[in-house]
Chains A and B, each alone.
Chain A
Amino acid sequence: MSTATRTLRPGHALPSTRRADAAPKVTGEFAYSSDLHAAGMLWGQTVRSPHAHARILGIDVVQARAMPGVHAVLTHEDVPGQKTYGLEFADQPVLAIDRVRYFGEAVAIVAAEEPEQARRAAAAVRVEYEPLEPVTDPEQAAEMAPLHPDRPTMGHGFRDDARPNVVRSMVIRRGDPDAEGDVAVEGVYEIGQQDQAFLGPESGIAIPDGEGGVDIHVATQWLHVDRDQAAPCLALEPEQVRIHLAGVGGAFGGREDLSMQIHAAMLALRTGRPVKIVYNREESFVGHIHRHPARIWAQHRATRDGKLVAVRMRILIDGGAYASSSTAVIANACSFAVGPYAVDNVLVDGLAVYTNNPPCGAMRGFGAVQACFAAEAQMDKLATALEIDSVELRLLNALEPGGMLPTGQVVTGSLPTRDVIRRAAALPVPEPEELPREAIRLPGGAGNTTRGEGVRRGVGFAVGFKNICYSEGFDDYCTARVVLAEDGSAEVHCAAADVGQGVSDVILQVARLELGTDDVTLASGSTARVGSAGSASSSRMTWMAAGAVQTACRAALDERDRSGGAVDVERIYRHPRTYPLDPETGQITDGRAHVALAVAAMRVVAEVDVDLGLTRVVWIGTAQDVGNALNRTAVEGQIEGGTAQGLGLALMEEIQTRDGVIANASFTDYLIPTFLDMPPVVSDLVEEPEPDAPYGVKGVGEPPTVVSTAAIVAALRDATGRELARVPVRPDDIAGL
């Protein structure tokens, strides 16, 4: 594989302002997965558990089956193959068997002619539950009765931890964590449960092929992993289950795990009719995993002149009822716990547990968000304790290429930490606006709660970093197929999910560049026509798709040179290999555990009404390490969107549960930022090519989310003088109630 970095020739690159899906999305013409229709289709509905933890004593479907329009009512007994599935560990029943472990768990499925008939039939399924005491406190989970007595995540090379309900226990130990410094600061931090809050609910359609197989059209992040989970449950060969990408209305990690795929396929295969399932908003809150709530204890020790001596952290994340990607999330949280700083003595103790809370898995930032919030608060505390400027302190400790991560991994690729910090710190902060002002330019916004009374201004700064691509020895690859026609036109196949990030445009941009023609089309993503692209997650898709398409294009041109005429080639691209961490020490075992890193720094100005605890974020400036920016508009879009998501976690977004039951499953009560909450973002793109990536690209989707929560709360601390150790920050916390 060629590792030469080709520069993008202007004129061949797509104009960076034209997104193929932009106009249809803005005008409402874009077909999302919920808009799908097939002739003769039925509607599916899911019967869900009202309990966070209960034994199932019986399921009576007789009445539901007899209702008008109903074609099928299925339970776990009807699952044709394997009864459980999972992204990495098959610990989740397709339909609950004898026990439900979280509020909203799927118990039965119904197909009927009309959605209303399906809903009524679902309501008529009689499930007899014996409620059990739910495990809801992650601190106590490891001492409670096991929710998964068969311990599905044990024996996968993780540290041996025999306590019940341990999903993964992690230690990263380096140097002498007890080394003394001149000063020490300590804190306990808490991160609430954030939802991806994508606007397009889980939806799709399954169409039986008449030969025992099924085509599933669905909004997802990774087509092939959906197929590989669904096929065994359906007792089909992978080729018999074809996943086709339908219009994705946002994902942010929440579509990595399956939702309605197997259910719709079961109903379609049973009834011989296409079956469509669309979750409503309330159901969507139990239809996907969330960001892990976390509790983090941290102690930082430093010399008098500000050099970090030792960092010790304990990180507890609540994985909820099923494993999903918790094992990787805790590894990430621990790997990036310290932040992009060089420190010789580290002890990070991480634990992911099972509880009866809503299941958690992938969400933009993937463990690094939670760790960054704690670590950056610690850096500020340290700066205060040492009376050193907080930007200076960060510069002094910045981790750069050649430096070492707490896992012993030496940074080999690009990591312009100092540059990013300096450039973010240099962005000019706007002057305070004068009073009087319109209410919407004050904390409390449209609510008209202040004309300036109680308002204080604060400036915050934070730095965050994270890996790009999959880690710890995962076989991470992406496939692309290029078909060159006799007339010189080309068709590219790649199953990379365009989840709104615009990877389709990247693929076309690369193909046009490599093939030297604009006559290139991108076929819609399907497992039937091309191999796996891996997941549109972990900030990897641009890198991986660019690598695969580049490789396939070059192979196609070679092939045409050799054979002439039309060619059809498929190629797999892999990034440099990674290796697992030692389960006892968390140290690298061979080469690197993470293939590459990206860093971002952010400066935030906020105004806080300290009496009412209301906030207006006034301005955000950020410098981000983006490798080579292939499409500036798309990069800025990711930075703004990622920042808005981090702002949501800082100020308002939290799934609230009572005994494991979600209490705010709606956009009335689960608030996400509006236009008035999100300020303009000034983005300074730090372009330093990543040596291991095609065209020197880096993923850009996650760093803004990692850093923004920490940076915004830092501004709130500056304005209020309060510790604000928990996000989302509640008005009560600011008002001191």
Chain B
Amino acid sequence: MDVLTPRSLDEALRLKAEHPGAVSIQGGTDVMIALNFDQARPELLLNLNEVVELRGWSRENGTLRLGAGLTYADAMADVVADELPALAEASRTVGSPQIRNRGTIGGNLGTASPAGDALPPLLVERAVVEVASTRGARRVPLQEFLVGVKRNALDDDELILSVLVEPSRQSQTFMKVGPRNAMVIAVCSLAVVVDRERGELRAAFGSAAPVARLVTAAIDEAESFPEQVAGAASPIDDVRGTAAYRRHALRVLTARALERCLA
């Protein structure tokens, strides 16, 4: 196995075009697990850690541009935390300090796990994923980007550049259920925004369907919203929890989230 380490975005896109089979690696907190467990044996790794254009965040007019290499620790601080509080809350629930220092938003999108904790808070903020290849760039709404269990809309020659969000600045929260109090994969998770400006309730849940899923309703439907969210889920029984519990928990979480956000 060889590792390619491009120093610029152009070089990265060129290498990805030349080697579509190369596996991108950012924090490596998913990729290295797969390698160590012998679940993947790629011939090439494309190490994106030296690509400056992917790091950190920037603001373009009203839009926040979160680089694919933005870590959870980054998302828990400063402007990002102020403008996307649910994402910051979600970031605090991810793994351990080590994982939060290494793991990235781009990696979470790349893995596209139904349990990815960055996904619900980005969904409720109607995030758009910016992807590119040597053929050009395109913008894909996050909802469309997540296509199945650990499958996303990326083509073989494409990289994730960033996530674009126009912060709603509306009251929001994130909650994650796990059978232990830290370092746990979500049994189910939920982000909620009460958007008074648009008169809309938006919820997105994780680990309760093949993909993290967005549910919206008019703001005056708060009473039935918990049921709507639970009803939108298609959970399964697995070693982490039962379908019945996941549905139940979504109901409880939604009610509590609304209470928090409406307070």
Q: Tell which of A185-193, A289-297, A611-619 binds the partner.
A: A611-619
Cβ–Cβ < 8 Å partners of B187 in chain A: 731
Q: Tell which of B3-11, B128-136, B249-257 binds the partner.
A: B249-257
* Beta-carbon nearest neighbor of A663 in chain B: B239
Give how many A-B residue pairs fall within 8 Å (CB-CB): 99
- Say yes or no: A450 contacts B182, CB within 8 Å: no
- Say yes or no: B245 contacts A731, CB within 8 Å: yes
B176 at the interface (CB under 8 A from A): yes
A498 at the interface (CB under 8 A from B): no
Cβ–Cβ < 8 Å partners of A440 in chain B: 181-182
Per-position contact with A for B175-210: 1 when CB-CB < 8 Å, else 0? 111111111110101000000000000000000000
Which 5 pairs across A and B sit closest by C-beta, in order of nearness? A445-B181, A447-B176, A676-B181, A676-B182, A664-B239
CA distance A440 to B178 in the complex (A): 13
Decide: A448 near B93, CB < 8 A? Known: A453-B259, A656-B239, A676-B182. yes
Most buried by B among A448, A451, A611, A676: A448
Dominant SS among interface residues on chain A: loop
A63 at the interface (CB under 8 A from B): no
CA distance A453 to B183 in the complex (A): 23
Q: Tell which of A132-140, A247-255, A372-380, A666-674 binds the partner.
A: A666-674
> Which B residues contact A (CB, under 8 angstroms)?
37-38, 89, 92-93, 173-185, 187, 189, 239-242, 244-245, 248-249, 252-253, 256, 259-260
- Say yes or no: A612 contacts B249, CB within 8 Å: yes
CA distance A616 to B240 in the complex (A): 19
CA distance A525 to B64 in the complex (A): 62
* Beta-carbon nearest neighbor of B33 in chain A: A668
CA distance A87 to B259 in the complex (A): 59
* Beta-carbon nearest neighbor of A664 in chain B: B239
B131 to chain A, nearest CB (A): 29
Return 30 A-B CB contacts under 8 Å, by A number: A446-B176, A447-B184, A447-B189, A448-B176, A449-B175, A449-B177, A449-B256, A451-B256, A453-B259, A612-B252, A614-B179, A651-B180, A652-B179, A663-B239, A668-B185, A669-B185, A669-B240, A671-B180, A674-B180, A674-B183, A676-B181, A677-B181, A730-B245, A731-B177, A731-B187, A731-B249, A732-B244, A732-B245, A735-B248, A737-B242
Cβ–Cβ < 8 Å partners of B249 in chain A: 612, 731, 735
Cβ–Cβ < 8 Å partners of A280 in chain B: 37
* Beta-carbon nearest neighbor of B252 in chain A: A611
Cβ–Cβ < 8 Å partners of B252 in chain A: 454, 611-612
Most buried by B among A280, A614, A651, A673: A614
- Say yes or no: B239 contacts A669, CB within 8 Å: yes
* Beta-carbon nearest neighbor of A116 in chain B: B38
Having A445-B181, A447-B181, A613-B245, one finds 12 other A-B pairs with CB under 8 Å, namely: A119-B38, A440-B182, A444-B177, A446-B93, A446-B176, A447-B178, A447-B189, A449-B176, A449-B256, A612-B177, A676-B180, A677-B180
Cβ–Cβ < 8 Å partners of B244 in chain A: 732, 737
Cβ–Cβ < 8 Å partners of A674 in chain B: 180-183
- Say yes or no: B179 contacts A451, CB within 8 Å: no
